[in-house]
Amino acid sequence: MAAVSTIGKARIADEPGVSALDPREYALFAQVARPREVAAGQHLFRRGDAGDAMFVVASGAVELDFGDDLISKRLGERAFFGELGLLIGDHARSADAHVLEDSALLELGRGEFETLAERDPHLLAQFLRRAIMRVVLNEQALIGRLRRRNQELQDTLDALRSTSHRLDQTEVLTRTDELTGLANRRGFLQHLEQLQGEGMLAGHALLLLDCDRFKAINDTHGHLVGDRVLQSVANLLRAVAGKDDIACRLGGDEFCLLLQGQGRDEAKRIAGYIADSARMLERMHSNPPQMATLSIGACLVGPHEAPSWEQCYARVDRALYRAKRRGGGHVEWLD
């Protein structure tokens, strides 16, 4: 019989016709067995004990507790148990045998078993077939339970992997600007905190960029056109950024680019290239506009500023407004 599933436990296979002696077998066993009276609450044996005898319930009830996630089995009149201890010898018990009520048992050891073989070998062979059948059924039930458990474990691992993947994606989304795909302010600041914590922020170059006359683009052509302009700026920064650089949309039409380990001359060259490219694209696609000219403020992060991002940002922000006051489309450097 297949294992019966329950919440948290599985029942061991146990057909009544397999686990109980028929009347003829019981009569034969009763002739040679040692009668034993046991009181309620007594333990006949525990899991792991070495056993060399089997038992038959003459009256009363015994419970077999297999532990783990297997349901206990209640045995009544003519039920037999512990037969592997008799057949194998010194077999480690697989269950706790607990007496549920005052009971009378028949106990058979190796000597009684030999007497059974002499008195009625045919009837004993019938019993052995039944005992072997029960072992096979229980083994099949155990294999089925282990397969289900393995499948449940695999399903759990798959669910955990899926959940972990979704959490990773969610974390990425919380650090990514939805419109442009660049890092958002939160993701940018997390990157800066990591660099600061590792003492690696000094020596970076920071570019702060702002779209010129962006409000007029939105007012004249609508927000969809404005969104395309922001996406074009993001694409330009993405094309310029190296693998260790980080481009960010801080919010609105304000962007920044952190260049790792770039000296002043190289950072100024990159900033000039961005401004020139934006100006050229703005002229090529002007109706409706797909790009705006960019005002850029730039500076190097000095060693004395590594603990304070605010100092560096305030300076590059002043440089940006100097570029805006020049009419836009310019780069201002502030040391």
Q: Where are the domains of the chain?
A: 4-147, 185-333
| Confidence (pLDDT) at 193 | 82
Instruction: State the average pLDDT over residues 143-172.
Output: 77
Position with higher pLDDT, 244 vs 272: 272
Mean pLDDT of 254-273: 90
Phi-psi region of 41 (alpha: psi -120 to 50; beta: other; left: phi over 0): left
182: tokens are 């660049």
Between 160 and 308, residue with greater pLDDT:
160
Identify the CA nearest to 294 among candidates 260, 312, 270, 258: 270
The confidence band for 7, taking pLDDT boundaries of 50, 70 and 90, is: very low
296: left (phi over 0), alpha (psi -120 to 50) or beta: beta
Task: Evaluate if residue 43 carries a pLDDT over 90.
Answer: yes
Can you name the CATH fold of 4-147?
A: Jelly Rolls (2.60.120)
Residue 208 has pLDDT above 80, yes or no: yes
The band of 308, judged by pLDDT with boundaries at 50, 70 and 90, is low
Residue 91: pLDDT over 80: no
Specify the pLDDT at position 304: 58
| pLDDT for the residue 250 | 92
Give me the residue label for tokens 């900033």.
271
Q: CA 17 to CA 83: how far, in whole Å?
A: 16
Q: What mean pLDDT do residues 120-146 have? A: 82
Mean pLDDT of 238-249: 92
Residue 226 pLDDT > 90, yes or no?
A: yes
Residue 106: pLDDT band (50, 70, 90) is very high
Cross-strand bridge partners of residue 35: 106
280 pLDDT band, cuts 50/70/90, is very high
CATH assignment, 185-333: 3.30.70.270
Q: Strand (E) positions, 109-183?
A: none
pLDDT of 217 over the 90 cut = yes
Amino acid 196: pLDDT: 76
Q: Is the pLDDT of residue 207 over 80?
A: yes
**Stronger pLDDT, 117 or 261, i.e. the higher one:** 117
The residue with greater pLDDT, 327 or 136, is 327
pTM: 0.53
H-helix or E-strand spanning residue 273 = helix 264-284
Phi–psi pair at 103, nearest 5 degrees: -140, 160
